[in-house]
Amino acid sequence: MLETKLLTERFNHYDGLNINHYIDLDGFNALKKALTMSPGDIVHEIELSKLTGRGGAGFPTYIKMKSMLETEGKKILVCNADEGEPGHFKDRYLLEKDPYLVLEGMLISAYAIGAKQGYIYIRGEYDNAIKQFSKVIAIAENKGYLGKRILNTDFEFTLELRRGAGAYVCGEEFALMESIEGKPGRTRVKPPYPTEKGVFNHPTLINNVETFCNLPSIIERGGEGYAQIGSEYATGTKLICLSGHVKEKGLYEVAYGTPIIDVINTLGGGTINDIPIQMVQIGGACGPIIPPELLSMSIDNEAFEIFDAKMGAGAIIVMDENDDMFELILRNMEFFLHESCGKCAPCREGHIQLVHLLKKFVNFTATDKDFQSLRSLAEVIHTTTLCGLGQTSPTSIISTLKYFERMYHKRIQQSNKEAKHDRVTD
């Protein structure tokens, strides 16, 4: 059994809407337990669990919660369901297949940090998830799981759903807050951090959908019990979004420490037609592209720190020997070119140049000079931009320069030949 199901346990066991069925499947037991605990104790259990954020950055969840505990006044809780990093679909599955788990996680967090108001920000393209979650909110209000005196306690919480309108960068937490306020999603200069000054300047805690979904397990098992699952570097499970040239694409839940290759071969059934793997992109368009030799590496945030890139939010995109690396990197850069919010010049202008240079590699017209420009431009964007988009966007270039540099040179050589060939036929 390669899969460990904490978050996906209830998938397909109820229709995702009937709150009584969720309750029959032990739903809201963790919330009930949490409401008998003190906020400080809940945060302490989360600290013991060593839970880290599942939205990509892998930041310890309890630290943000602790700073919220220490603030006074109105506080806001936000669930980040803007999932837009190419290769990811895990949050959509959670929202569609077990939305009450997302709600339960949010309620536990809201109670722990003392937030009475919350938002769930779902990307506009997730039509089904949006329709379903708005019903879930209405049902929960009716059943006394939202509003005043939740489960006959003094705890109160209201939740509003906000839709995105097609902007990947709104998943970045500062841009997300701007968008919740009804503005274009352009990042803010930091500090202050959301826990100091967030939505409408109130202290705000933002977590990813999957992060919230772990809280019920932590409360039920206790932080130490939860920390038994996983590896020495990371605890709990990770939802993996497997796509590309594999037989069984799909969502899988594995404990941290599981080798990447096992997910591809055992759960994914290996590559289509068993064509050898050429490379794998981890964590989506902003993640590193790694060679087959590194696939024995395990799914761990800390074990995985290469080029400042982490496991990301859990995408594994498999490319076989027939895929053209440059086409794929070009697609990545076109994505970032389109999604750049335009606030800083290296990101706004840099991606135009990167796309231009990569097209030359795709079209067999690249030169050594293009190679040098590509290398230095990727570094500049990586080091001089304001938000995570620009800081991570060149990762597929930087990582392939490290592991597949020969392919760049080979393409340049082929380009020279083709160019000569062209001149001959002219």
Partner 1 sequence: MNLHNILKKHEFKKDKLIEILIDVQHEKPYNNITEKEVESIAKALELPVSHVCGVMSFYTLLSLEKRGKYIIQVCKDVPCFINDEFNILKTLEQTLNIQCGETTDDHFFTLEESACLGHCDEAPVMRINDTMYTNLTKTKVFRILEQYKEGTLC
User: Which of 93, 73, 86 is closest to 11 using CA atoms?
Assistant: 93
Residue 88 is classified by DSSP as -
CA-based end-to-end distance of the chain? 61
Footprint (CB under 6 A) of ligand FMN, residues 348-407: 387-389
Alpha-carbon distance of 292 to 278, in angstroms, equals: 7
For residue 81, the cross-strand partners are 122
Using CB under 8 A, which of 5, 148, 190, 338 touches partner 1?
338
Decide if residue 253 touches ligand FMN (CB under 6 A).
no
Give 261-321 as a DSSP string.
Answer: HHIIIIIT-SBGGGPPEEEEEESSTTSPEE-GGGGGSBS-TGGG-BTTB--TTSEEEEEET
Sequence-separated (6 or more) residues with CB below 8 Å from residue 5: 237, 253
* Site stretch for ligand SF4 (CB under 6 A), options 70-78, 247-255, 344-352, 418-426: 344-352
Alpha-carbon distance of 222 to 282, in angstroms, equals: 31
Please name the residue ranges forming H helices in 162-266.
173-180, 209-221, 223-227, 260-262
For residue 47, the cross-strand partners are none
Using CB under 8 A, which of 24, 26, 70, 127 touches partner 1?
127
From ligand SF4, partner 1, ligand FMN, none, interface partner of 347 (C-beta below 5 to 8 A by class): ligand SF4
Binding mask 165-194 for partner 1 (x = CB under 8 A): xxxx----------xxxxxxxx--------
How many of the chain's residues bind ligand SF4 (CB under 6 A)? 14
Q: Reduced to 3 states, what is the DSSP secondary structure of residue 94? A: helix
Alpha-carbon distance of 53 to 192, in angstroms, equals: 20
Q: Which residue number, 211 or 415, has a Cβ lying nearer to ligand FMN?
A: 211
Name the token pair of 410.
């080979």
Using CB under 6 A, which of 49, 132, 204, 207 touches ligand FMN?
207
Distance between alpha carbon 70 and the CA centroid of its chain, in Å?
27
From ligand FMN, ligand SF4, partner 1, none, interface partner of 340 (C-beta below 5 to 8 A by class): ligand SF4
Find out whether 119 and 199 touch, Cβ atoms under 8 Å: yes
Q: Which residue number, 177 or 277, has a Cβ lying nearer to ligand FMN?
A: 177
Using CB under 8 A, which of 66, 75, 163, 360 touches partner 1?
163
Footprint (CB under 6 A) of ligand SF4, residues 145-174: 169
Instruction: State the minimum distance, in angstroms, from the CB of residue 348 to ligand FMN.
Output: 14
Instruction: State the minimum distance, in angstroms, from the CB of residue 380 to ligand SF4.
Output: 12
Using CB under 6 A, which of 348, 359, 375, 402 touches ligand SF4?
348
From ligand SF4, ligand FMN, partner 1, none, interface partner of 390 (C-beta below 5 to 8 A by class): ligand SF4
Tell me which residues touch ligand FMN (CB under 6 A): 53-57, 59, 80, 82-85, 169, 171-173, 206-208, 211, 387-389
Tell me which residues touch ligand SF4 (CB under 6 A): 169, 187, 340-344, 347-348, 385-387, 389-390
